[in-house]
Amino acid sequence: MESLRSVRSGGSNRLTRESGLYGRAFLLAFTVCFHALDLSAQSAVGSITRHAIPFSGSLIIDSAGNVYSAGNVTGTSQPVTPGAAQIQAGGGTCAGFMVPQPCSDAYVGKADSNGNLVFGTRLGGPNFEYATALAVDAGGNVFVVGDTKGLFPTTAQAAIGTSTTSRVFAAKLSADGSRFVYSTYLPDTASDASAVAVNSQGNAYVAGTTTTGHAFITKLNPDGSAFLYNVTLPVSHVEGATAMVVDAAGNAVVTGVVQALPSGPQNVFITKLDASGNVVFSTHLGGSAADTPRAVQLDSSENIYVAGQTTSLDFPTTPGSFQPAPIVPMWNNTSPGGFIVKLSADGSAVLYSSYVKSLEIQGQGVTGLAVTASGEAYVGGSTGAGFAVTESAPQICFGGGIDGFVAHLDPRGTLLEATYVGGPQAEAAQTLALANDGSVMLVAISSGFPTFSRIRFGGPGWSAPACLSPDALNAATLNSEGTGIAPGEFITLTGFGIGPKNGIAYQPDAQGLAPRQLAGVQVFFDGVAAPILYAQSRQINVLAPFELNGKSSTNIQVQYNGTLLGPMAVPLTFAVPGIFRLQSGVSAQAAAFNQDGTLNGLSNPARTGSVVTVWGTGFGTTDPPCTTGGLNVPMAANLAGGMSVLLADIVVPGVAGRSNPAYYAGSAPALLCGVEQINVLVPSYAHGNFLFFPESVIAIIDGHELAGPTIGVTIAVK
């Protein structure tokens, strides 16, 4: 097969064909988008049970499966129960959008393990209040912290009963929700509170950020009448606490973000204080980009586990861990997603460190962490297709869109088992915990509503049954963008048992065409078999036939060795653009040629003002049309129906998003129909790893512009 480049000369496109191996390498790069893990099967059946949660906010789970909420309430926006500590609104009017509105109160709620509301209470006065974090002690008492704009209702003997300068509060609510044992202001050096923990003696520890931009920890005595210490952490540059845990001896371990150097990267700090507030140790770790911890836990040996989000491609990981390499998932732009680190109890050594393939948007990464006494870790978050789910998974198939996940690691940081949770709606995982019965509990936001999932992995000898994931994904991005598929788009179907255990890539016939049956696999669109490029137990790459043009939806079925899976109904749209990456699932670097015909990369960047060629799929049909399973015409063929392409929403620090029309967008001669070529001018403001996003536009048919996709690629620019 041959590769292709196109340059602009004399105001027109000139296409040249170059013999070589790159075409084959490129084709294989996008036909094999991710590798399934070969893990042995694990007699108990895996299961997930789910129910709704009757409130929203920052949610935590106790070991009995009760869920607690910290948030705010205005009017009847959250359920308040009779007999609760504060039923009536605090009163007052606050600034709102266009018109004044009632001020919100802080809110604390509890639901039982079946999702039934136990209690819900307000906490607030005539100004704005918002609960930001909470913790629960062994007796079920709830400790809550949050923000206030003043005139906060404190209790008698409060450590700070009145203040005109304090803006953070702490309170203790009885286990039945009927009264506040105490409520107090925190010292006015506190700007916000992000975490609270409680020890066995009933002392409350609050962590957050000071008014001068540093992390702090405040320790309150059991009745809230006195501060046992109030410490600003000795980290050298701007920082803020994000999570905290307290051990049996009253030592506090707090983690957060720190700017390692002035104008330097955002790293993770971990600091341990003794029961008197003296710093035992303080350290930080991270890479050259932004690293944000979301959770911290301890095992019985007081080893420290920290998990969160990272955009660093050089985050310090350890060999043999779950994911030591900085893989950028195809549905992320430039970020690996999440991380987990295990530190020795004295903070002197990293026992293991691993990336965790998870969502980069909306501060995701790893959002939940639970650790057993023996040092097994469970991490949870949100992810896309291609996560390393094991055959013991109660949900082995991708649910579609964005799924929650739970992964179980052994004390060395290697994967024991993993599962998807949720779908087809977006699942934004918040937190997880381990239940008394050995199950794993995950709380997530699904379509804006909180959900609780109780997860049990399958036991030895049990394996998940075959299934087909209910989402057809763009083969270049492993993402559906929620719009369906386009005729002529190469798509990826995921599942389990949908093909042979070992993947098989197609071999073109004498005419260079792809087969409609591969390794016992067929894919049918409305009953018609389609060309298949790759088939494996967990992944099939297939072309959506051009004959789907004019339809609003299609039914897809997979047949493997005579067994049918599906159908699944998928909507159709005119375009779902995605650009192929050079190493799918490894980095965001596009499969791109510079204007001189050489492969683009960090060692061979493009110059500004030059033309770079990339390839994609899902850009719509061409004129003249292409044949399903055939090759693109050996000449320039523009996109049909007045469609054009913009390289849009370009992300450059300090520069507003811009749109650059492509010089050429259409067929990719010598490559399979369904692969499009896009030639674009590198703008003058581009530099380094330049991130851009494709956008298809209908210019003639109805003037409608398709919203740009959220998944982009990078090219190297000098």
Q: Give the DSSP letter string of 307-365.
A: EEEE--TT----TTSS--S----TTSSS--EEEEEEE-TTSS-EEEEEEEE---GGG-S
Range list for CATH 2.60.40.10 in the chain: 467-571
Residue 239 pLDDT: 85
Q: What are phi and psi of 243, to 5 degrees?
A: -155, 160
Among all chains, which residue has been given the structure tokens 């929403």?
649
CATH assignment of 467-571?
2.60.40.10
Q: Is the pLDDT of residue 19 over 80?
A: no
Q: Is the pLDDT of residue 258 over 60?
A: yes
Q: With cut-offs at 50, 70 and 90, classify the pLDDT of residue 481.
A: confident
Q: What average pLDDT score do residues 220-225 get?
A: 98
Q: Is the pLDDT of residue 653 over 60?
A: no
Q: Is the pLDDT of residue 10 over 60?
A: no
Burial class of residue 653 (count of CB atoms within 10 Å of its CB; 0-12, 13-18, 19+): exposed
Q: With cut-offs at 50, 70 and 90, classify the pLDDT of residue 565.
A: very high
Residue 642 pLDDT: 63
pLDDT in tens, 592-623: 999 999 999 999 999 999 999 999 999 988 99
Q: With cut-offs at 50, 70 and 90, classify the pLDDT of residue 700.
A: very low
Which stretch, 31-35, 478-482, 604-608, has highest mean pLDDT?
Answer: 604-608
Three-state secondary structure call for residue 24: helix
Q: With cut-offs at 50, 70 and 90, classify the pLDDT of residue 685.
A: confident
Burial class of residue 609 (count of CB atoms within 10 Å of its CB; 0-12, 13-18, 19+): exposed
Q: How far apart are CA 274 and CA 27, in angstroms?
A: 58
Q: Is the pLDDT of residue 492 over 70?
A: yes
Q: Is the pLDDT of residue 38 over 60?
A: no
Q: In whole numbers, what is the pLDDT of the chain averaged over residues?
A: 89
Among all chains, which residue has been given the structure tokens 């650790």?
371
Q: With cut-offs at 50, 70 and 90, classify the pLDDT of residue 96.
A: confident
Q: Is the pLDDT of residue 319 over 90?
A: yes
Three-state secondary structure call for residue 444: strand
Residue burial 635-650, b: 16+ Cβ < 10 Å; e: rest = ebbbbbbebbbbbbbb
Q: Is the pLDDT of residue 66 over 80?
A: yes
Q: Is the pLDDT of residue 27 over 60?
A: no
The per-residue DSSP string of 603-634 comes to TBPBPTTSEEEEEEE-S--BSSPPPTTSBPPS
Q: With cut-offs at 50, 70 and 90, classify the pLDDT of residue 418.
A: very high
Q: What percent of the chain has pLDDT above 70? A: 88
296: nearest Cα among 362, 371, 210: 371
Cβ-based neighbours of 154, under 8 Å, separated by 6 or more: 160, 161, 162, 169, 183, 184, 185
Tokens representing residue 600 in the block: 């683009």
> Which is more confident, 415 or 648?
415
Q: What average pLDDT score do residues 533-550 get?
A: 97
Q: What average pLDDT score do residues 59-88 get?
A: 97
Burial class of residue 262 (count of CB atoms within 10 Å of its CB; 0-12, 13-18, 19+): exposed
Q: Is the pLDDT of residue 30 over 50?
A: no
Q: How far apart are CA 138 and CA 393, in angstroms?
A: 31
Q: What average pLDDT score do residues 365-392 get?
A: 96
Q: With cut-offs at 50, 70 and 90, classify the pLDDT of residue 236.
A: low
pLDDT in tens, 440-475: 999 999 878 999 999 999 999 899 999 999 999 999
Q: What average pLDDT score do residues 18-45 get?
A: 40
Residue 427 pLDDT: 84
Q: With cut-offs at 50, 70 and 90, classify the pLDDT of residue 663.
A: confident
